[in-house]
Structure 1
Amino acid sequence: MIPKIDTGELEFMQPLHHASIRWAEHGYPSDLARWHHHDEVEIHLIRQGVGQMMVGNALLPFSPGQVSMIGRNVPHNWISDIDVDEYLGRRDVLCQFRGEQIESMASSFPELLSFGKLMSRSNRVIVLTGESRQRVASILESMGKHGDIDRFVDLMSILAAFAQAPEGEWAMVLDDNYVPNTKFDATGRINAAISYVNEHLAEAITVEDVAKVVVMHPNAFSRFFHATSGMRFSELVTRLRISKACRLLVSTGLNVAQIRKEVGYTNAANINRSFLKEIGMTPSQYRKQHRD
């Protein structure tokens, strides 16, 4: 049976009485953890787990402590590598706000000019590291305990941390020519494809199988996936397989042959080739490096 595609992937910010800043936290899996977009700028902290951050046309690994700023209507999702029936109760904490309100403030207060520039840079997605990351993570955590006025002060401090981050402690993820694809049918189909891959990671996964799930011709799906996400479908499958294999290599006593089967590789040569391309070492070398 072909599953119904959920096309409601535009996330609407529920109106808040006398407030313009939303703070939230959630676990994983969650209905909130999906490929989606919204009109608000988002500051996001990963508390738990490892996996792949899928944002715009980029795919990059994440781990606990990752802090990012995602601009208006840039599609995003964090795909955690977890076992069947595993649940991460406190994976995400975030705040959302209207970028145009910050830009309006910046036009009125010369001291906030850097905030206006920051809103523009957020469309390329900003990831922090170092002390800047730690500073934002700490403020974002405490924001949940604060009232409206203190949350506003927290947001100003967070934006200041992003704007003042020194070279080497921030990076933009997306190319400057990236244009979001925010069509409802696009995000719904991307989510259906991601769900299928996660559920069948140990099996052979073909474009034909996934095309049936999203009710498209295989060639059309391949073109659509590349145009929407910026990567080939096979790249997504490989990254998710490698991500799970890395976790199993470090956290379990399974041998490499057993792990290879768990993540859908039919022979040692294939998994070695993928590891060398994506990580620069073989699975055995990766295990040794991360256990010594």
Structure 2
Amino acid sequence: MTRPARVTDPSYELMDDHNGLSIIYRQHGFPSPLVRWHFHKEYELHLIVASSGKVFIGDYIGNFYPQSLFLTGPNLPHNWISQVAEDEVVPKRDMLVNFTDELFDSGYQVFAELKTLAPLLERAQYGIEFRCKHTIARAMDLMQRIADTSGATRLGHFFILLELLAASDDYQLLSGATAPQLADEHNIDRTNRAVDYIFAHYARDLPLEEVAEHLGMKPTYFSRVFKQATGRNFIEFVNRLRISKSCELLADGDKPVTDVCFESGFNNISNFNRRFQQLKGMTPSHYRRLVVQRLTEQNLG
């Protein structure tokens, strides 16, 4: 049995531990108060070191695994929810580095070389997932060096890491909507509770009215608030979560597509095939063959 994080903390995260430092390094496990649908003014470089589950960045829904590496821009809502057994605790799941635009606004005037990082920071407003295994392996080593050092040495490792990521061309931009469209402290807190509820129940029939009632809101008002905060209407959000689950099932084993359909929360195979084609541009069977082909190529490589 899996369970989502229980999320009750405020959705805007105020990091008051800068202490005059240019970057903040943190690590935490799962569950944790830091695991919630939230946003903050800082960029966040986020490395998953244990467990797998669902990632929500802006209007994007996808899967994460150990050694997944993401960069989110200022005020872009995000959350990572692990799929773990009931009462299972992951002592160390995440390694994070946070920093603000202020570091670069000041640095550009002194160090012209920092301007080469500007395109990376610009892309971060949509959220980035880095895909190159070699880049991620080097990034993991640099993240650990950041964790183990302090002062100018830590800052040096940080800039080397950003230079590495800025040079990578194997990445995916994630959200179609940016922070100004999504970040609203009042609405996103309610959406946080909605996402928590949806994540716990999306594998069965889940009408909008049920979620609205859970939040004590009228359905029409909830629908408007939810779309404003996530960039997706309710049905589209749930379907994307279900398709993400189906991709996970298709990649992990040889279950029949029909079983994958129902286990993902769809109630008929034709609707599942249609939604999958719309979102992934291929049939579920084709997707599975492609995953197997890529895994084979990686193993041979």
Normalising by the residue count of structure 1, what TM-score does the alignment of the two structures yield?
0.82
Three-state SS of the structure 2 residue aligned to 1:196 is: helix
CA distance 1:88–1:233, shift in 2 (3 Å): farther
Give 1:47-86 correspondences, 5 Å limit: 47-82=49-84, 84-86=86-88
Gap regions ≥5 residues in structure 1: none
Normalising by the residue count of structure 2, what TM-score does the alignment of the two structures yield?
0.80
Three-state SS of the structure 2 residue aligned to 1:179 is: helix
Three-state SS of the structure 1 residue aligned to 2:276 is: helix
CA distance 1:238–1:57, shift in 2 (3 Å): closer
CA distance 1:247–1:112, shift in 2 (3 Å): closer
Structure 2 equivalent of residue 99 of structure 1 = 101
Is contact 1:73-1:180 (8 Å) kept? no
Is contact 1:202-1:262 (8 Å) kept? yes
Give 1:190-205 correspondences, 5 Å limit: 190-205=191-206
Matched, 1:243 2:244: yes
Is contact 2:181-2:228 (8 Å) kept? no
Structure 2 equivalent of residue 26 of structure 1 = 28
Structure 2 distance, partners of 1:272, 1:90, is 37
CA RMSD of aligned residues (A): 3.1
Residues 217-248 of structure 1: CA deviation (Å, up to 9, x unaligned): 21222222222211122122122223333334
Is contact 2:13-2:38 (8 Å) kept? yes
Structure 1 equivalent of residue 140 of structure 2 = 137
Return the offset for 1:95.
0.7
Three-state SS of the structure 2 residue aligned to 1:105 is: helix
Structure 2 distance, partners of 1:40, 1:200, is 32
Is contact 1:260-1:271 (8 Å) kept? yes
Structure 1 distance, partners of 2:280, 2:88, is 26
Gap regions ≥5 residues in structure 2: 1-5, 294-301
Structure 1 distance, partners of 2:251, 2:128, is 29
Structure 1 distance, partners of 2:32, 2:91, is 10
Residues 152-171 of structure 1: CA deviation (Å, up to 9, x unaligned): 111111222233x15x3345
State, as a whole percentage, how many aligned pairs show the same letter.
Answer: 32
Return the offset for 1:288.
5.9
More moved, 277-286 vs 218-227: 277-286
Structure 2 distance, partners of 1:282, 1:91, is 33
Residues 135-178 of structure 1: CA deviation (Å, up to 9, x unaligned): 32321133212233321111111222233x15x33454445876
Is contact 2:58-2:178 (8 Å) kept? no
Is contact 1:51-1:243 (8 Å) kept? no
Matched, 1:224 2:225: yes
Structure 1 equivalent of residue 296 of structure 2 = none
Three-state SS of the structure 1 residue aligned to 2:228 is: helix
